[in-house]
Amino acid sequence: MVSARAAQVGPQILVASNRGPVSYAFEADGSLTPRRGGGGLVSGLSAIGSEADTLWVCSALGDGDREAVRRGVGEAGVRMLDIEASVHAAAYNGIANSVLWFVHHMLYQTPLEPVFDAEFRREWGAYEAYNRAFAAALAEEAAEGASVMVQDYHLALVPGMLRELRPDLRIGHFSHTPWAPPEYFRMLPDDVARQLLRGMLGADRLGFLTHRWADAFTRCCEDAVGGLGTTRVGVHGLGADAEFLRRRAHEPDVDERLVALREQIGAGRKTIVRVDRTELSKNIVRGLLAYRQLLLDHPEWRERVVHVAFAYPSRQDLAVYRDYTAEVARTAEEINSTFGTPGWTPVILHVKDDFARSLAAYRLADVALVNPIRDGMNLVAKEVPVVSDEGCALVLSREAGAWEELREDAVCVNPYDVMGTAAGLFAALSMSPGERSDRSKRLAAAATALPPQRWFLDQLGALREA
Ligand code: F6P
């Protein structure tokens, strides 16, 4: 399938992911403006230096992206695939976000779900087609012997499909999510479970964020397909990008927001900060209930603490996400109407995504609350101690991937245990300034042990050796 031209001049390093590093928005005059995204992968790839030898294959996500593909507007080093909108929706919303995300984060309310019916089979067909489109594009573009780094649960079938098209390539796959234990994974129909595992095992090397997720994957393979075969498995715990964060957190727009937030919070009060996308796995509602419990158990903290909760919209095409977002707002309002006083708003909830304001909140946080019911890593847990002005205590769920690296200096909680989380918040608020500052420094050191550039280069190196 490799074209003669690609074999000679095609890229040597390819990345494939559903969401790419750029997206396009329509302007009033019909022109298209590109918006560059951030994240570990973008800064990781920047470690390569020259873009000449790299290609990022991603999917067009909105109308702006689709139009950009049609007009041939594009960024160097990026190929966006215009996969039919209905196929993409069924693959992304139907399978990736409503099935695979739910399985790996163990989110189902099992008395009634999941239901693997005819509609599921139709969506599964779309997921296969969407994966095939990626495999075909990668096969067409890659230079002979190139390294291809496939990302995440959206593209679990790509390694196997690509291996058939281009046996000469080195293929890696990285999971940014947890992996389900076999007892949960086997909820999937047997043929689908096997297809997913065999798809992944088409890779030379698979990467996971923690040993826990890597072990779970290995056990699923032993359970369903007789083991890993020749595929190697490695752990790469993506860390925070300290250099970027510290610089960005002191730019004027962040300073402005810091002043505004301080005013909203009120002088002399402590702050418990959380910043999340509003995903079901982030456990925002139980976090609010734990804060409510803290105010009940320790009335001496009323008027003296504010919970700053940023819950940014995510996957709003899905009703269950919209309902969850509404429940977050309802719970916050309930706390404010029960405990609030004319001069004190116990919960400040913001739902409009604003990165500069998130950084401002990181800087002033006395306590960071990170309590997901399950999370691949959770970079917020790593970013807050890095950016914090005076050191902050971290209340951290033992179900977050970051727990493996940060548990020594965090206040660790069971995310389902609201009383226990309230006690954790109390312990964090009561920590002496000296202890808080010492722990925060150690947390920042652990959080930055593997910066994105090294995270990416390590994987590339290991794939080349595999
Ligand atoms: O945070 C885990 C993760 O899988 C990322 O790797 C990925 O970018 C994101 O979730 C997918 O989210 P979205 O559906 O908004 O693209």
Q: Which pLDDT score is estimated for 5?
A: 55
Q: How far is the CA of 99 from the centre of ligand 1 (A)?
A: 14
Q: Which pLDDT score is estimated for 454?
A: 94
Q: Is 315 in the pocket of ligand 1 (CB under 6 A)?
A: yes
pLDDT at 298 over 90: yes
Q: Is 376 in the pocket of ligand 1 (CB under 6 A)?
A: yes
Reported as a pLDDT band with limits 50, 70 and 90, residue 45 is confident
Q: Is 374 in the pocket of ligand 1 (CB under 6 A)?
A: no
Q: Is 177 in the pocket of ligand 1 (CB under 6 A)?
A: yes
Q: Which pLDDT score is estimated for 7?
A: 61
The four Cα atoms 109, 111, 117, 121 give a dihedral, to 10 degrees, of: 30
Reported as a pLDDT band with limits 50, 70 and 90, residue 50 is low
Question: Which of 23, 41, 152, when mutated, tests ligand 1's pocket best, judged by the most ligand atoms within 8 Å of its CB?
Answer: 152
pLDDT at 8 over 70: no
Q: How far is the CA of 38 from the centre of ligand 1 (A)?
A: 12
User: Residue 353 and residue 277: Cα distance in Å, rounded?
Assistant: 9
What is the rounded average pLDDT of the residues 73-78? Answer: 90
Q: Which pLDDT score is estimated for 169?
A: 98
Q: Which two tokens stand for residue 22?
A: 């750029």
Q: Is 282 in the pocket of ligand 1 (CB under 6 A)?
A: no
Q: How far is the CA of 280 from the centre of ligand 1 (A)?
A: 13
Burial classification of residue 43, based on how many CB atoms lie within 10 Å of its CB (0-12 exposed, 13-18 middle, 19 or more buried): middle
Residue 240 CB coordination number (10 Å): 27
Protein residue closest via CA to atom 4 of ligand 1: 176
CB 193 within 8 A of CB 224: yes
Which atom number of ligand 1 is nearest to the Cα of residue 97?
Answer: 14
Reported as a pLDDT band with limits 50, 70 and 90, residue 213 is very high
Which atom number of ligand 1 is nearest to the Cα of residue 92?
Answer: 14
Q: What is the pTM of this model?
A: 0.96
Which atom number of ligand 1 is nearest to the Cα of residue 18?
Answer: 16
Classify residue 315 as left (phi > 0), alpha (psi -120 to 50) or beta: left
Q: Is 123 in the pocket of ligand 1 (CB under 6 A)?
A: no
Q: How far is the CA of 199 from the centre of ligand 1 (A)?
A: 20
Question: Which of 15, 17, 19, when mutated, tests ligand 1's pocket best, judged by the most ligand atoms within 8 Å of its CB?
Answer: 19
Q: Which pLDDT score is estimated for 9?
A: 76
- Residue 85 phi/psi, 5° resolution? -55, -40
Q: How far is the CA of 224 from the centre of ligand 1 (A)?
A: 26
Q: Catalogue all structural domains in the chain, each as residue range(s) with its CATH number.
A: 4-238+454-465 (3.40.50.2000), 242-447 (3.40.50.2000)
Side by side, the strands of the sheet bearing 411-413 are 347-350, 305-312, 270-277, 367-370, 393-397, 411-413
Mean pLDDT of all residues in the chain?
Answer: 95
What is the rounded average pLDDT of the residues 324-328? Answer: 96
Which atom number of ligand 1 is nearest to the Cα of residue 96?
Answer: 14
Burial classification of residue 285, based on how many CB atoms lie within 10 Å of its CB (0-12 exposed, 13-18 middle, 19 or more buried): middle
What is the rounded average pLDDT of the residues 399-419? Answer: 98
User: Residue 185 and residue 180: Cα distance in Å, rounded?
Assistant: 6
pLDDT at 4 over 60: no
What is the rounded average pLDDT of the residues 326-346? Answer: 98
Residue 459 CB coordination number (10 Å): 19
Q: Which pLDDT score is estimated for 48?
A: 74
Q: Is 277 in the pocket of ligand 1 (CB under 6 A)?
A: no
Write out pLDDT tens, residues 146-181: 999 999 999 999 999 999 999 999 999 999 999 999
Q: How far is the CA of 152 from the centre of ligand 1 (A)?
A: 8
Which atom number of ligand 1 is nearest to the Cα of residue 277?
Answer: 15
Which atom number of ligand 1 is nearest to the Cα of residue 19?
Answer: 16
User: Residue 327 and residue 311: Cα distance in Å, rounded?
Assistant: 12
User: Residue 394 and residue 106: Cα distance in Å, rounded?
Assistant: 24
Q: Is 19 in the pocket of ligand 1 (CB under 6 A)?
A: yes
Q: How far is the CA of 464 from the centre of ligand 1 (A)?
A: 26
pLDDT at 420 over 80: yes
Write out pLDDT tens, residues 234-248: 999 999 999 999 999
Protein residue closest via CA to atom 8 of ligand 1: 19
Question: Which of 42, 176, 456, when mutated, tests ligand 1's pocket best, judged by the most ligand atoms within 8 Å of its CB?
Answer: 176
What is the rounded average pLDDT of the residues 188-201? Answer: 98
Q: Which pLDDT score is estimated for 187?
A: 98
Q: Which pLDDT score is estimated for 378?
A: 96
Reported as a pLDDT band with limits 50, 70 and 90, residue 6 is low
User: Residue 416 and residue 422: Cα distance in Å, rounded?
Assistant: 11
Single-letter amino acid, residue 49? G
pLDDT at 414 over 90: yes
Strands 32-36, 22-26: pairing is: antiparallel
What is the rounded average pLDDT of the residues 320-342? Answer: 97
pLDDT at 52 over 70: no
Q: Is 159 in the pocket of ligand 1 (CB under 6 A)?
A: no
Reported as a pLDDT band with limits 50, 70 and 90, residue 37 is confident
Q: How far is the CA of 295 from the centre of ligand 1 (A)?
A: 34
